[in-house]
Protein backbone atom coordinates (compact mmCIF):
# COMPACT_ATOMS: atom_id res chain seq x y z
CA UNK A 1 0.00 0.00 0.00
CA UNK A 2 2.81 2.42 0.87
CA UNK A 3 4.62 1.62 -2.40
CA UNK A 4 1.43 2.23 -4.38
CA UNK A 5 0.95 5.55 -2.60
CA UNK A 6 4.53 6.59 -3.42
CA UNK A 7 3.94 5.75 -7.10
CA UNK A 8 0.73 7.75 -7.09
CA UNK A 9 2.47 10.75 -5.53
CA UNK A 10 5.18 10.60 -8.18
CA UNK A 11 2.66 10.41 -11.03
CA UNK A 12 0.74 13.38 -9.64
CA UNK A 13 4.03 15.25 -9.28
CA UNK A 14 4.81 14.59 -12.94
CA UNK A 15 1.39 15.80 -13.99
CA UNK A 16 1.90 19.03 -12.07
CA UNK A 17 5.33 19.65 -13.58
CA UNK A 18 5.43 22.73 -15.84
CA UNK A 19 7.37 20.91 -18.59
CA UNK A 20 5.83 17.46 -18.75
CA UNK A 21 8.06 14.99 -20.53
CA UNK A 22 7.32 11.45 -21.67
CA UNK A 23 6.33 9.18 -18.79
CA UNK A 24 7.66 5.63 -18.94
CA UNK A 25 7.03 2.63 -16.72
CA UNK A 26 10.36 3.26 -15.04
CA UNK A 27 9.05 6.67 -13.93
CA UNK A 28 6.12 4.89 -12.28
CA UNK A 29 8.53 3.08 -9.97
CA UNK A 30 7.88 -0.43 -11.24
CA UNK A 31 10.76 -2.62 -10.01
CA UNK A 32 13.83 -2.34 -12.27
CA UNK A 33 16.45 -4.16 -10.18
CA UNK A 34 18.10 -7.22 -11.69
CA UNK A 35 16.36 -10.50 -10.91
CA UNK A 36 18.17 -12.67 -8.34
CA UNK A 37 19.96 -15.51 -10.13
CA UNK A 38 17.81 -18.31 -8.59
CA UNK A 39 14.64 -16.51 -9.71
CA UNK A 40 16.00 -16.08 -13.22
CA UNK A 41 16.94 -19.78 -13.40
CA UNK A 42 13.48 -20.79 -12.22
CA UNK A 43 11.80 -18.48 -14.75
CA UNK A 44 13.85 -19.86 -17.65
CA UNK A 45 13.23 -23.43 -16.51
CA UNK A 46 9.49 -22.73 -16.39
CA UNK A 47 9.53 -21.25 -19.89
CA UNK A 48 11.74 -23.80 -21.67
CA UNK A 49 11.30 -26.93 -19.60
CA UNK A 50 12.98 -29.96 -21.16
CA UNK A 51 13.86 -27.90 -24.26
CA UNK A 52 16.36 -25.70 -22.41
CA UNK A 53 19.46 -27.84 -23.01
CA UNK A 54 18.57 -28.39 -26.65
CA UNK A 55 18.12 -24.62 -27.14
CA UNK A 56 21.05 -23.11 -25.25
CA UNK A 57 24.67 -24.11 -24.84
CA UNK A 58 24.94 -21.65 -21.95
CA UNK A 59 23.40 -18.57 -20.31
CA UNK A 60 25.15 -16.24 -17.89
CA UNK A 61 22.60 -15.75 -15.10
CA UNK A 62 23.95 -12.30 -14.20
CA UNK A 63 21.78 -9.88 -16.15
CA UNK A 64 23.57 -7.48 -18.49
CA UNK A 65 20.59 -5.10 -18.39
CA UNK A 66 17.31 -4.73 -16.53
CA UNK A 67 14.15 -2.73 -17.06
CA UNK A 68 10.60 -2.47 -15.85
CA UNK A 69 9.27 -5.40 -17.89
CA UNK A 70 12.28 -7.68 -18.34
CA UNK A 71 15.91 -8.48 -17.66
CA UNK A 72 18.43 -9.30 -20.41
CA UNK A 73 20.99 -12.10 -20.23
CA UNK A 74 23.90 -13.04 -22.47
CA UNK A 75 23.81 -16.59 -23.75
CA UNK A 76 24.89 -18.91 -26.49
CA UNK A 77 22.58 -21.05 -28.59
CA UNK A 78 23.24 -24.73 -29.12
CA UNK A 79 24.34 -23.80 -32.65
CA UNK A 80 27.04 -21.47 -31.29
CA UNK A 81 25.42 -18.06 -31.92
CA UNK A 82 25.92 -15.40 -29.23
CA UNK A 83 22.51 -14.12 -28.18
CA UNK A 84 20.73 -11.79 -25.80
CA UNK A 85 17.80 -13.35 -23.94
CA UNK A 86 15.10 -10.91 -22.86
CA UNK A 87 13.32 -12.59 -19.95
CA UNK A 88 9.95 -11.25 -18.78
CA UNK A 89 9.82 -10.55 -15.05
CA UNK A 90 7.66 -13.09 -13.20
CA UNK A 91 4.52 -11.41 -11.84
CA UNK A 92 5.00 -8.16 -13.79
CA UNK A 93 1.53 -8.39 -15.33
CA UNK A 94 -0.18 -7.83 -11.98
CA UNK A 95 2.14 -4.95 -11.09
CA UNK A 96 1.57 -3.25 -14.42
CA UNK A 97 -2.20 -3.72 -14.25
CA UNK A 98 -2.27 -2.07 -10.82
CA UNK A 99 -0.18 0.90 -11.95
CA UNK A 100 -2.20 1.45 -15.13
CA UNK A 101 -5.44 1.30 -13.12
CA UNK A 102 -3.96 3.94 -10.83
CA UNK A 103 -3.11 6.10 -13.86
CA UNK A 104 -6.70 5.79 -15.05
CA UNK A 105 -7.97 7.00 -11.66
CA UNK A 106 -5.57 9.94 -11.69
CA UNK A 107 -6.56 10.72 -15.29
CA UNK A 108 -10.22 10.81 -14.29
CA UNK A 109 -9.40 13.36 -11.58
CA UNK A 110 -7.18 15.48 -13.85
CA UNK A 111 -9.87 15.45 -16.54
CA UNK A 112 -12.20 17.33 -14.18
CA UNK A 113 -9.88 20.34 -14.05
CA UNK A 114 -11.57 23.37 -15.68
CA UNK A 115 -8.73 24.00 -18.13
CA UNK A 116 -8.95 20.40 -19.39
CA UNK A 117 -12.72 20.26 -19.68
CA UNK A 118 -13.68 18.73 -23.01
CA UNK A 119 -10.26 17.13 -23.59
CA UNK A 120 -10.68 13.35 -24.02
CA UNK A 121 -8.23 12.47 -21.24
CA UNK A 122 -9.84 9.06 -20.69
CA UNK A 123 -9.60 8.11 -24.37
CA UNK A 124 -5.96 9.23 -24.56
CA UNK A 125 -5.07 7.24 -21.44
CA UNK A 126 -6.89 4.21 -22.85
CA UNK A 127 -4.73 4.40 -25.97
CA UNK A 128 -1.53 4.80 -23.94
CA UNK A 129 -2.45 2.06 -21.48
CA UNK A 130 -3.19 -0.40 -24.28
CA UNK A 131 0.15 0.39 -25.92
CA UNK A 132 2.08 0.10 -22.64
CA UNK A 133 0.30 -3.11 -21.63
CA UNK A 134 1.11 -4.59 -25.04
CA UNK A 135 4.77 -4.65 -23.95
CA UNK A 136 3.92 -7.87 -22.11
CA UNK A 137 3.09 -9.60 -25.39
CA UNK A 138 6.52 -10.91 -26.34
CA UNK A 139 5.21 -12.71 -29.42
CA UNK A 140 4.02 -9.35 -30.69
CA UNK A 141 7.33 -7.72 -29.74
CA UNK A 142 9.24 -10.38 -31.67
CA UNK A 143 7.12 -9.51 -34.72
CA UNK A 144 7.83 -5.81 -34.09
CA UNK A 145 11.56 -6.43 -33.91
CA UNK A 146 11.60 -8.24 -37.24
CA UNK A 147 9.46 -5.54 -38.82
CA UNK A 148 11.71 -2.74 -37.58
CA UNK A 149 14.80 -4.61 -38.76
CA UNK A 150 13.28 -4.90 -42.24
CA UNK A 151 12.05 -1.29 -42.38
CA UNK A 152 15.20 0.34 -40.99
CA UNK A 153 17.47 -1.66 -43.28
CA UNK A 154 16.72 1.15 -45.73
CA UNK A 155 18.52 3.66 -43.45
CA UNK A 156 22.29 3.41 -43.60
CA UNK A 157 24.23 2.94 -40.35
CA UNK A 158 21.23 1.58 -38.39
CA UNK A 159 21.52 -1.80 -36.66
CA UNK A 160 18.46 -3.65 -35.35
CA UNK A 161 19.47 -7.05 -33.91
CA UNK A 162 18.38 -10.21 -35.65
CA UNK A 163 15.61 -12.26 -34.00
CA UNK A 164 16.06 -15.98 -33.35
CA UNK A 165 12.42 -16.96 -33.72
CA UNK A 166 12.72 -20.69 -32.98
CA UNK A 167 14.55 -20.04 -29.71
CA UNK A 168 12.04 -17.40 -28.53
CA UNK A 169 8.99 -18.14 -26.40
CA UNK A 170 5.92 -16.29 -25.08
CA UNK A 171 7.91 -14.83 -22.16
CA UNK A 172 11.43 -14.84 -23.61
CA UNK A 173 12.80 -13.15 -26.73
CA UNK A 174 16.11 -14.37 -28.12
CA UNK A 175 18.00 -12.02 -30.41
CA UNK A 176 21.46 -11.34 -31.74
CA UNK A 177 23.84 -10.13 -29.03
CA UNK A 178 25.19 -6.65 -29.81
CA UNK A 179 28.60 -6.23 -28.13
CA UNK A 180 30.14 -3.15 -26.56
CA UNK A 181 27.02 -1.08 -26.03
CA UNK A 182 27.99 2.03 -24.11
CA UNK A 183 25.65 4.86 -23.13
CA UNK A 184 28.60 7.28 -22.97
CA UNK A 185 30.16 6.37 -26.33
CA UNK A 186 28.82 9.48 -28.09
CA UNK A 187 30.54 11.74 -25.55
CA UNK A 188 33.91 10.50 -26.78
CA UNK A 189 33.14 10.95 -30.48
CA UNK A 190 34.49 13.76 -32.65
CA UNK A 191 32.01 16.57 -33.45
CA UNK A 192 31.69 15.37 -37.06
CA UNK A 193 30.69 11.87 -35.87
CA UNK A 194 28.22 13.32 -33.37
CA UNK A 195 26.57 15.32 -36.15
CA UNK A 196 26.33 12.17 -38.26
CA UNK A 197 24.79 10.26 -35.36
CA UNK A 198 22.18 13.00 -34.88
CA UNK A 199 21.24 12.94 -38.56
CA UNK A 200 21.06 9.13 -38.65
CA UNK A 201 18.81 9.09 -35.57
CA UNK A 202 16.40 11.59 -37.08
CA UNK A 203 16.40 9.83 -40.45
CA UNK A 204 15.53 6.53 -38.76
CA UNK A 205 12.70 8.18 -36.81
CA UNK A 206 11.41 10.02 -39.88
CA UNK A 207 11.47 6.80 -41.89
CA UNK A 208 9.24 5.21 -39.24
CA UNK A 209 6.89 8.19 -38.99
CA UNK A 210 6.50 9.31 -42.57
CA UNK A 211 7.11 6.24 -44.73
CA UNK A 212 6.38 3.07 -42.78
CA UNK A 213 3.88 4.39 -40.23
CA UNK A 214 5.27 1.81 -37.80
CA UNK A 215 6.89 3.72 -34.96
CA UNK A 216 9.18 2.85 -32.05
CA UNK A 217 7.80 5.13 -29.31
CA UNK A 218 10.47 4.51 -26.67
CA UNK A 219 13.93 5.26 -28.08
CA UNK A 220 15.36 6.50 -24.80
CA UNK A 221 19.03 5.86 -23.88
CA UNK A 222 19.08 2.16 -23.18
CA UNK A 223 17.01 1.39 -26.28
CA UNK A 224 19.10 3.66 -28.51
CA UNK A 225 22.89 3.38 -28.56
CA UNK A 226 25.52 5.29 -30.50
CA UNK A 227 28.80 3.90 -31.84
CA UNK A 228 32.05 5.73 -32.65
CA UNK A 229 31.72 4.44 -36.22
CA UNK A 230 28.63 6.62 -36.69
CA UNK A 231 26.26 3.67 -36.39
CA UNK A 232 23.17 3.64 -34.16
CA UNK A 233 21.69 0.53 -32.53
CA UNK A 234 17.93 0.25 -31.96
CA UNK A 235 16.71 -2.19 -29.29
CA UNK A 236 13.50 -3.26 -27.52
CA UNK A 237 10.55 -2.94 -29.87
CA UNK A 238 7.87 -3.58 -27.25
CA UNK A 239 6.44 -0.05 -27.26
CA UNK A 240 5.90 0.26 -31.01
CA UNK A 241 2.75 1.45 -32.70
CA UNK A 242 1.20 1.24 -36.16
CA UNK A 243 -0.28 4.57 -37.22
CA UNK A 244 -3.41 4.61 -39.31
CA UNK A 245 -2.91 5.57 -42.95
CA UNK A 246 -4.81 8.81 -42.29
CA UNK A 247 -2.69 9.80 -39.29
CA UNK A 248 0.57 9.00 -41.11
CA UNK A 249 -0.56 11.17 -44.04
CA UNK A 250 -1.72 14.07 -41.88
CA UNK A 251 1.37 14.00 -39.66
CA UNK A 252 3.61 13.93 -42.75
CA UNK A 253 1.72 16.82 -44.34
CA UNK A 254 1.88 18.84 -41.13
CA UNK A 255 5.63 18.33 -40.80
CA UNK A 256 6.25 19.23 -44.45
CA UNK A 257 4.15 22.38 -44.27
CA UNK A 258 5.90 23.35 -41.05
CA UNK A 259 9.29 22.84 -42.72
CA UNK A 260 8.10 25.18 -45.49
CA UNK A 261 6.79 27.77 -43.03
CA UNK A 262 3.17 27.45 -44.18
CA UNK A 263 1.44 28.03 -40.87
CA UNK A 264 -2.09 28.45 -42.20
CA UNK A 265 -1.91 25.09 -43.97
CA UNK A 266 -0.59 23.51 -40.74
CA UNK A 267 -3.67 24.85 -38.96
CA UNK A 268 -6.01 23.33 -41.54
CA UNK A 269 -4.29 19.94 -41.14
CA UNK A 270 -4.72 20.07 -37.35
CA UNK A 271 -8.40 20.89 -37.81
CA UNK A 272 -8.78 17.95 -40.21
CA UNK A 273 -7.07 15.57 -37.76
CA UNK A 274 -9.11 16.66 -34.73
CA UNK A 275 -11.25 14.06 -33.01
CA UNK A 276 -14.03 16.60 -32.53
CA UNK A 277 -14.81 20.22 -31.71
CA UNK A 278 -16.92 22.16 -29.24
CA UNK A 279 -20.09 23.87 -30.35
CA UNK A 280 -18.40 27.25 -29.75
CA UNK A 281 -15.15 26.34 -31.58
CA UNK A 282 -13.39 29.42 -33.01
CA UNK A 283 -11.55 28.02 -36.02
CA UNK A 284 -10.41 31.36 -37.44
CA UNK A 285 -8.70 32.38 -34.20
CA UNK A 286 -7.11 28.93 -34.02
CA UNK A 287 -5.78 29.26 -37.58
CA UNK A 288 -4.35 32.69 -36.84
CA UNK A 289 -2.54 31.71 -33.66
CA UNK A 290 -1.26 28.36 -34.89
CA UNK A 291 0.13 30.03 -38.01
CA UNK A 292 1.97 32.47 -35.75
CA UNK A 293 3.31 29.55 -33.67
CA UNK A 294 4.65 27.83 -36.78
CA UNK A 295 6.35 30.97 -38.06
CA UNK A 296 8.00 31.58 -34.67
CA UNK A 297 9.50 28.08 -34.76
CA UNK A 298 10.28 27.87 -38.48
CA UNK A 299 13.85 26.80 -39.28
CA UNK A 300 15.06 27.09 -35.69
CA UNK A 301 18.11 24.94 -34.83
CA UNK A 302 17.71 22.26 -32.17
CA UNK A 303 19.37 24.44 -29.54
CA UNK A 304 16.50 26.96 -29.89
CA UNK A 305 13.63 24.67 -30.90
CA UNK A 306 11.72 22.77 -28.22
CA UNK A 307 9.38 20.14 -29.57
CA UNK A 308 7.70 19.71 -26.21
CA UNK A 309 7.23 23.48 -25.99
CA UNK A 310 5.77 23.57 -29.49
CA UNK A 311 3.44 20.61 -28.83
CA UNK A 312 2.31 22.04 -25.48
CA UNK A 313 1.45 25.39 -27.05
CA UNK A 314 -0.33 23.70 -29.97
CA UNK A 315 -2.46 21.58 -27.62
CA UNK A 316 -3.25 24.68 -25.56
CA UNK A 317 -4.45 26.48 -28.70
CA UNK A 318 -6.63 23.49 -29.57
CA UNK A 319 -8.12 23.50 -26.10
CA UNK A 320 -8.64 27.25 -26.03
CA UNK A 321 -10.41 27.40 -29.38
CA UNK A 322 -12.51 24.25 -28.99
CA UNK A 323 -10.70 21.47 -30.87
CA UNK A 324 -10.16 17.99 -29.44
CA UNK A 325 -6.83 16.44 -30.43
CA UNK A 326 -6.92 12.95 -31.93
CA UNK A 327 -5.69 10.47 -29.28
CA UNK A 328 -3.61 8.68 -31.93
CA UNK A 329 -1.52 11.85 -32.29
CA UNK A 330 0.06 11.01 -28.92
CA UNK A 331 2.24 8.28 -30.46
CA UNK A 332 4.13 10.17 -33.20
CA UNK A 333 4.63 13.07 -30.83
CA UNK A 334 5.83 10.76 -28.05
CA UNK A 335 8.34 9.11 -30.37
CA UNK A 336 9.87 12.49 -31.22
CA UNK A 337 9.76 13.77 -27.66
CA UNK A 338 11.71 10.75 -26.42
CA UNK A 339 14.63 11.29 -28.84
CA UNK A 340 14.60 15.10 -28.85
CA UNK A 341 17.10 15.49 -25.99
CA UNK A 342 19.50 12.89 -27.38
CA UNK A 343 19.54 14.52 -30.82
CA UNK A 344 20.00 18.00 -29.35
CA UNK A 345 22.92 16.79 -27.22
CA UNK A 346 24.60 15.29 -30.29
CA UNK A 347 24.15 18.32 -32.55
CA UNK A 348 22.65 21.51 -31.08
CA UNK A 349 22.56 23.12 -34.54
CA UNK A 350 20.65 20.40 -36.37
CA UNK A 351 17.43 21.56 -38.02
CA UNK A 352 14.66 19.04 -37.26
CA UNK A 353 12.49 20.40 -40.05
CA UNK A 354 15.12 20.69 -42.79
CA UNK A 355 16.42 17.18 -42.05
CA UNK A 356 12.92 15.83 -42.59
CA UNK A 357 12.39 17.34 -46.07
CA UNK A 358 14.00 14.60 -48.24
CA UNK A 359 12.16 11.80 -46.42
CA UNK A 360 8.88 13.73 -46.43
CA UNK A 361 9.23 14.37 -50.16
CA UNK A 362 9.90 10.70 -50.81
CA UNK A 363 7.01 9.61 -48.56
CA UNK A 364 4.45 11.98 -50.06
CA UNK A 365 5.48 12.15 -53.69
CA UNK A 366 7.56 9.02 -54.25
CA UNK A 367 6.97 5.34 -53.70
CA UNK A 368 5.95 4.49 -50.12
CA UNK A 369 6.87 0.95 -49.03
Tell me what pLDDT residue 310 has. Answer: 93
Tell me what pLDDT residue 120 has. Answer: 59
pLDDT truncated to tens, each residue of the chain (369 aa)?
444 444 434 433 333 333 333 333 343 333 468 899 999 999 999 999 999 999 999 999 999 998 888 999 999 999 999 999 999 999 877 777 676 677 666 666 665 666 555 555 666 677 667 766 677 889 999 999 999 999 999 999 999 999 999 999 999 999 999 998 999 999 999 999 999 999 999 999 999 999 999 999 999 999 999 999 999 999 999 889 999 999 999 999 999 999 999 999 999 999 999 988 999 999 999 999 999 999 999 989 999 999 889 998 998 999 899 998 888 888 899 899 999 999 999 999 999 999 999 999 999 887 544
β-bridge pairing 224-226 and 232-234: antiparallel
What ranges make up the beta strands (E) of 60-192? 65-66, 70-77, 82-88, 158-159, 172-176
CA 251/CA 59 separation, integer angstroms: 44
Tell me what pLDDT residue 99 has. Answer: 66
Task: Report pTM.
Answer: 0.80
Tell me what pLDDT residue 239 has. Answer: 87
Of 83, 76, 89, the closest CA to residue 44 belongs to: 89
Backbone CA torsion sign across 256, 258, 262, 265:
positive
| Residues in Cβ contact with 219 at an 8 Å cutoff, skipping those fewer than 6 apart | 201, 205, 234, 335, 338, 339, 342
- Name the phi and psi angles at 42, rounded to 5: -65, -40
CA 235/CA 161 separation, integer angstroms: 7
Backbone CA torsion sign across 24, 30, 33, 36:
negative
CA distances from 109 to 15, 102, 198 (A): 11, 11, 39
CA 203/CA 156 separation, integer angstroms: 9
Are the CB atoms for 132 and 239 separated by under 8 Å? yes
CA 1/CA 98 separation, integer angstroms: 11
Tell me what pLDDT residue 4 has. Answer: 43
Count the neighbouring beta carbons within 10 Å of the beta carbon of residue 303.
11
Tell me what pLDDT residue 364 has. Answer: 86
Are the CB atoms for 331 and 131 separated by under 8 Å? yes
Tell me what pLDDT residue 331 has. Answer: 87
Amino acid sequence: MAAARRREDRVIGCLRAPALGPVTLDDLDIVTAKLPEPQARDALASIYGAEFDATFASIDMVAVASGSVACVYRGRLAGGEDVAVKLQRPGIEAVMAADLAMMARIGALVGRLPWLRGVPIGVILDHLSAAVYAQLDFVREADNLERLRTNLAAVSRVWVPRLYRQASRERAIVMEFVPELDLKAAERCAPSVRRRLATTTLCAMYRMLFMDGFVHCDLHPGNLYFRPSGQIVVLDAGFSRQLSAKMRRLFSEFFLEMALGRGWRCADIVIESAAGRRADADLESFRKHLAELVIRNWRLPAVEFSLIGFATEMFELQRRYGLHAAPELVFPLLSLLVIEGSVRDLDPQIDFQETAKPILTQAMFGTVH
